[in-house]
């Protein structure tokens, strides 16, 4: 393979970037000050509250790297103006042009920062396979934090205006705040304009029960992230880093720990994002609905990263399935496979993500053939134990997800195949090896506790929603203190969230 | 709104009380070394076991020394007071129980930020020379001691404070990390479980060796005396290398270490390592044994101490 040249681009990494993550001291200080200013000082002035959201969000983002604020502000400005002009323009051609301009701006930035190196190296590798060596240049680029999330927000905003689903926002403070609203800026959820903009335009009311529940949701998110995800991460990293030296049984457990890590890391972040938004009087898009209890892969995707699934369904899958409707089930399968391949690529510039999405697309084929893709599981009163059929379906779906998570976690396709080769060997039946069994056991126990609590609370908005459960305040508070102590005592120490890289 | 704030403040009262308690007890002497509210020996006996790196790093920050020992628990047995008898220099032993190569490396660089080092002794055994042992508690310890809030709300501070209070309340010595088995059972456990765990996951530490090379270069450039030594272990443990067919790797380890500086090897079959009474378990020498190692390592030959154990590693005697 021809060695690729790397140019030291001006925006190169010169220092370790420190993100103000939700479970950090800087964020605790920031949010406490913000909360007091927001509800005590500016409570009677909507305009000032929104300005504070804007300033606070830029401060939050600039903490990581202030230089990328220009990109965020520029993107907001372009889309704000385009939104207004798309609405005003009656000429269909001009309207299209403006829409494409907006999409080009959004997707162009995304393609450049996220996929440029991937495209040029893949192109060079493809030519190298036929013995043609291209002298390509790769760039040392930093991926702007949250770019995939805020770009999808702005694209959906323009598309919705174009389809007359919403009116453009004429208040720049509101629109800029919508694009950069800090609880969901870095890792989503990807809120649609029709949900968030009206909330920004209207006065927020301080509601005691909503505040308390917001705090509970934050606490549960912290538990999932710090106790479950971070402890599972230690074990999963250890196994994935040494997969060549470990038996198949250890690798299978590594995949299990990674699956728990991925879920508790991302859904923990989302719980915190939703909780913080509620503390500011907002209801943002729910991103997870206990996906490990899904009984088939379609249901899994209706419960996992729901804001992305909904976005892709509306703007990718639906138009594609309309286009391919003449081909019947084959057309539907093709639309699904394209949709999920795009979903995979959205996660990053690596063939592993392409394969990840493609496999998930393939998983839908049996459901399409049976015609059960859109069939929803009956929702009755939740029972303590699932039926045998439910349990079988849940386990099967979980195994499918677990297998694709190996692809998601791997650094390269070579590692994917090697990992699978190691797993599906005779050593799968051997005793698993760990360098630290107690940590593995701790991580496993907390993962099971998390799943158990979520199973019991699966008909609620989040696992710690205790409003409907009658109990004395002293018991309720004891639960909060107990979770707090568990977080301190058993907490892991990862510095970031998995989805920050996307 | 007032109701919410009022309830929230009430909710925070136990948290404030906890913070006050940690400040008073100060299990790692973070706030002051002269805090006499709790017996310093009691604090050390608990906190040093709960988070060895945090305790040592805080102590080093308060009393930095240019003479240091780095390594795992095998090196940790060398007492600075005994070493002082031979060198007249106050060494600081920055070795940790269960210490790993990445911890040793991180500690070295952290110490260079605190003081101008003069002599560094690194105790590295083959069992620790393992690329799969990547645990690094130093990053966490540095993060904890970074500021008052992270210290107060760290697991280490919480656990140590709780155990110190328990010890005071029950007027009882708290045993931490003491194996709940007889001496013979523990000996067997260390050989069959602990050693096996290390050797089954053994891989050559390419990256860590590169980091050690950087340290050696830094020491050479900054006139720091760097000495490596391989601590003694009982022959039962030495035989494990053969059992796992890692002899070639072990030889490579000695040779590679030798490329970085002076290496003294205490870990080979001899009268000392064959004698079980010199060891508390297959990994660790008893106190008297550590005195012998310290004498041989730190006393110049001219003082007339017979060199029974120490063997200089050089390309010639491989």
Q: Is A490 in the B-facing interface, judged by CB distances under 8 Å?
A: yes
Q: Look at residue A496 and tell me whether its pLDDT is greater than 80.
A: no
- CB contacts of A480 in chain B (<8 Å) are 11
> What pLDDT is attached to residue B159?
92
Kindly report, residue by residue over A77-90, the tens digit of the pLDDT: 999 999 999 999 98
Calpha distance B74→A55 (Å, rounded): 54
pLDDT band at A498 (very low <50, low <70, confident <90, very high): confident
Nearest to B155 among A206, A481, A489 (CB): A489
Cβ neighbour number for residue B219 with a 10 Å cutoff: 20
Nearest to B197 among A435, A480, A481 (CB): A435
Calpha distance A168→A161 (Å, rounded): 6
> What distance in Å separates residue B226's CA from the closest CA in chain A?
30
For A379-397, b/e burial (b = at least 16 CB within 10 A) is eeeeeeebeeeeeebbeeb
- Nearest Cα neighbor of B300 from B227, B216, B230, B232 is B227
User: How far is the CA of A125 from the CAs of A2, A140, A418, in angstroms?
Assistant: 8, 19, 21
SS3 A478: helix
Beta-strand relationship, B67-71 and A137-139: unpaired
Sequence-distant (≥ 6) Cβ neighbours of residue B201 within 8 angstroms:
A242, A245, A246, A433, A435, B130, B132, B133
What are the DSSP E strand ranges found in A356-417?
none
Kindly report, residue by residue over B64-93, the tens digit of the pLDDT: 999 999 999 999 999 999 999 989 999 999
ipTM of the complex: 0.77
What is the domain extent for residue B200? Answer: 2-317
> What pLDDT is attached to residue A452?
96
> What pLDDT is attached to residue A7?
36
> What pLDDT is attached to residue A10?
32
SS3 A414: helix
> What distance in Å separates residue B103's CA from the closest CA in chain A?
16
> What distance in Å separates residue A50's CA from the closest CA in chain B?
19
Determine the residue among B7, B142, B163, B201 to mutate to test chain A binding: the one whose Cβ has the most chain A Cβ atoms within 10 Å: B201
Q: Which runs of consecutive H residues, i.e. helices, occur in A280-387?
A: 297-303, 306-312, 318-323, 328-347, 351-363, 365-370
Place of tokens 């728990």: A260
Calpha distance A143→A112 (Å, rounded): 9
Calpha distance A426→A428 (Å, rounded): 5
> What distance in Å separates residue A219's CA from the closest CA in chain B?
14
Choose the weakest-confidence range: A256-260, A333-337, B182-186: B182-186
**Per mean pLDDT, which of A63-67, A465-469, B74-78 is the most reliable?**
B74-78
For B46-79, b/e burial (b = at least 16 CB within 10 A) is bbbbbbbbbbbbbbbbeeebbbbbbbbbbbbbbb
User: How far is the CA of A247 from the CAs of A418, A430, A431, in angstroms?
Assistant: 12, 7, 8
Beta-strand relationship, B311-312 and B262-265: antiparallel
CB pair distance less than 8 Å for A481 and B203 = no
Choose the weakest-confidence range: A222-226, B17-21, B177-181, B264-268: B177-181
> What pLDDT is attached to residue A5?
38
Instruction: Assign residue B263 the CATH number of its domain.
Output: 3.40.50.1110
- Which residues make beta-bridge pairs with B230? B265
Determine the residue among A24, A32, A208 to mutate to test chain B binding: the one whose Cβ has the most chain B Cβ atoms within 10 Å: A208
Concatenating the DSSP letter of every residue in B253-317 gives: HHHHHHTTSEEEE--SSSHHHH-GGGEEETTEE-HHHHHHHHHHHHS-GGG----SS-EE--GGG
pLDDT band at B310 (very low <50, low <70, confident <90, very high): low
Sequence-distant (≥ 6) Cβ neighbours of residue B246 within 8 angstroms:
B126, B199, B202
Q: Look at residue B313 and tell me whether its pLDDT is greater than 70.
A: no
Helix-then-strand count for chain B, H and E = 16, 8
pLDDT band at A501 (very low <50, low <70, confident <90, very high): low
Calpha distance B87→B85 (Å, rounded): 6
Please state the domain count of chain B.
1
pLDDT band at B304 (very low <50, low <70, confident <90, very high): very low
Nearest chain A residue to B150 by CA distance is: A25
Average pLDDT of the residues in A447-472: 91
SS3 A381: coil
CB pair distance less than 8 Å for B4 and A246 = no
Calpha distance B233→A164 (Å, rounded): 78
Q: Look at residue A212 and tell me whether its pLDDT is greater than 80.
A: yes
> What pLDDT is attached to residue A16?
47
User: How far is the CA of B112 from the CAs of B76, B108, B115, B218, B228, in angstroms?
Assistant: 20, 6, 5, 10, 18
- Which residues make beta-bridge pairs with B120? B68, B226
A439 and A235 in contact (C-beta within 8 Å)? yes
pTM for the complete prediction? 0.83
What whole-number percentage of chain A has pLDDT above 90? 71
pLDDT band at B134 (very low <50, low <70, confident <90, very high): confident
CB pair distance less than 8 Å for B153 and A39 = no
Choose the weakest-confidence range: A111-125, A317-331, A396-410, B47-61: A111-125
Sequence-distant (≥ 6) Cβ neighbours of residue A22 within 8 angstroms:
A218, A221, A222, A225, A269, A272, A273, A276
Kindly report, residue by residue over A419-431, the tens digit of the pLDDT: 999 999 988 888 8
Kindly report, residue by residue over A141-175, the tens digit of the pLDDT: 778 889 999 999 999 999 999 999 999 999 999 99
> What distance in Å separates residue B308's CA from the closest CA in chain A?
35
Nearest to B3 among A25, A208, A484 (CB): A208
> What pLDDT is attached to residue A347?
92
Sequence-distant (≥ 6) Cβ neighbours of residue A54 within 8 angstroms:
A173, A176, A177, A180
pLDDT band at A495 (very low <50, low <70, confident <90, very high): low
Q: Look at residue B235 and tell me whether its pLDDT is greater than 80.
A: yes
Nearest chain A residue to B6 by CA distance is: A208
Calpha distance B38→B43 (Å, rounded): 7
Calpha distance B58→B53 (Å, rounded): 8
Kindly report, residue by residue over B101-111, the tens digit of the pLDDT: 999 999 999 99
| Residues of A (131-150) whose Cβ lies below 8 Å from B | none
pLDDT band at A306 (very low <50, low <70, confident <90, very high): very high
């Amino acid at each position: 393979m021809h060695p690729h040249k790397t140019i030291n681009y001006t925006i190169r990494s010169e220092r370790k970037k420190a993100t103000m993550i939700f479970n950090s001291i800087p964020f605790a200080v920031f949010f406490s000050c913000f909360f007091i200013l927001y509800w005590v000082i500016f409570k009677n002035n909507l305009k000032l509250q929104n300005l504070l959201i804007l300033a606070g969000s830029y401060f939050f983002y600039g903490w990581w790297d202030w230089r990328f604020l220009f990109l965020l502000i520029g993107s907001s400005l372009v889309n704000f103006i385009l939104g207004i002009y798309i609405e005003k323009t009656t000429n269909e051609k001009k309207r299209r042009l403006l829409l494409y301009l907006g999409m080009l701006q959004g997707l162009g930035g995304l393609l450049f920062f996220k996929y440029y190196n991937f495209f040029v190296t893949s192109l060079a590798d493809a030519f190298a396979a036929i013995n043609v060596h291209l002298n390509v240049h790769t760039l040392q680029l930093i991926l702007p934090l949250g770019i995939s999330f805020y770009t999808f927000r702005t694209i959906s905003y323009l598309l919705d205006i174009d389809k007359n689903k919403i009116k453009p926002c004429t208040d720049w403070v509101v629109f800029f705040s919508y694009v950069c609203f800090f609880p969901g800026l870095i890792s989503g959820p990807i809120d649609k304009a029709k949900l968030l903009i009206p909330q920004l335009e209207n006065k927020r009311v301080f509601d005691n029960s909503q505040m308390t529940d917001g705090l509970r949701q934050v606490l549960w998110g912290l538990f999932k992230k710090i106790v479950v995800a971070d402890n599972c991460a230690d074990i999963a990293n250890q196994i994935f880093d040494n997969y060549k030296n470990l038996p198949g049984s250890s690798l299978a457990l590594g995949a299990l720990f990674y699956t728990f890590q991925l879920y508790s890391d991302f859904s923990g972040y989302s719980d915190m994002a939703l909780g913080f938004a509620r503390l500011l009087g907002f209801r943002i898009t729910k991103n997870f609905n206990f996906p490990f209890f899904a009984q088939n892969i379609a249901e899994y995707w209706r419960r996992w990263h729901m804001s992305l699934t909904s976005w892709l369904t509306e703007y990718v899958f639906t138009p594609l399935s309309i286009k391919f409707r003449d081909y019947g089930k084959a057309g539907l399968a093709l639309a699904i496979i394209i949709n999920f391949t795009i979903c995979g690529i959205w996660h990053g510039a690596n063939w592993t993500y392409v394969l990840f999405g493609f496999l998930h697309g393939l998983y839908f084929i049996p459901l399409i053939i049976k015609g059960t893709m859109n069939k929803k599981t009956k929702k009755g009163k939740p029972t303590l134990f699932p039926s045998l059929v439910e349990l079988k379906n849940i386990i099967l779906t979980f195994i499918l997800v677990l297998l694709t998570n190996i692809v998601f976690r791997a650094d390269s396709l070579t590692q994917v195949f090697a990992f699978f080769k190691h797993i599906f060997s005779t050593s799968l039946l051997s005793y698993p090896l760990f360098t630290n069994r107690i940590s593995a056991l701790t991580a496993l126990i907390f993962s099971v506790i998390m799943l158990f609590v979520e199973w019991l609370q699966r008909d609620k908005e989040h696992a710690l929603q205790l409003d409907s459960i009658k109990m004395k305040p002293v018991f309720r508070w004891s639960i909060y203190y107990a979770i707090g102590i568990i977080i301190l005592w058993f907490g892991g120490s990862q510095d970031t969230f998995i989805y920050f890289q996307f | 709104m007032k109701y919410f704030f009022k309830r929230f403040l009430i909710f925070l009262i136990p948290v404030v009380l906890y913070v006050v308690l940690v400040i008073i007890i100060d299990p790692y002497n973070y706030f002051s070394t002269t805090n006499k509210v709790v017996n310093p020996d009691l604090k050390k006996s608990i906190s040093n076991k709960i988070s060895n790196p945090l305790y040592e790093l805080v102590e080093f920050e308060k009393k930095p020394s240019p003479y240091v020992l780095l390594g795992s628990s095998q090196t940790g047995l060398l007492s600075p007071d005994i070493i002082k008898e031979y060198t007249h220099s106050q060494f600081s032993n920055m070795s940790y129980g269960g210490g790993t190569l990445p911890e040793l490396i991180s500690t070295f660089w952290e110490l260079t930020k605190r003081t101008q080092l003069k002599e560094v002794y690194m105790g590295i055994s083959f069992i620790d020379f393992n690329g799969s042992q990547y645990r690094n508690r130093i990053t966490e310890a540095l993060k904890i001691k970074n500021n008052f809030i992270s210290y107060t709300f760290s697991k280490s501070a919480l656990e140590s404070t709780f155990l110190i209070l328990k010890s005071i309340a029950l007027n009882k010595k708290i045993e931490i990390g003491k194996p709940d088995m007889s001496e013979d059972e523990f000996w067997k456990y260390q050989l069959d479980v602990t050693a096996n765990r290390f050797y089954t996951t053994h891989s050559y530490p390419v990256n860590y060796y590169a980091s050690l090379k950087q340290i050696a270069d830094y020491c050479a450039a900054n006139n720091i005396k760097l000495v490596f030594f391989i601590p003694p272990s009982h022959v039962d443990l030495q035989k494990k290398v053969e059992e796992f067919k890692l002899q070639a790797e072990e030889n490579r380890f000695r040779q590679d270490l030798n490329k970085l500086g002076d290496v003294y090897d205490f870990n080979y079959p001899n009268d000392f390592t064959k004698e079980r009474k010199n060891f508390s378990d297959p990994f660790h020498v008893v106190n008297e044994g550590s005195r012998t190692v310290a004498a041989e390592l730190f006393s110049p030959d001219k003082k007339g101490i017979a060199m029974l154990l120490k063997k200089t590693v050089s390309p010639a005697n491989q």
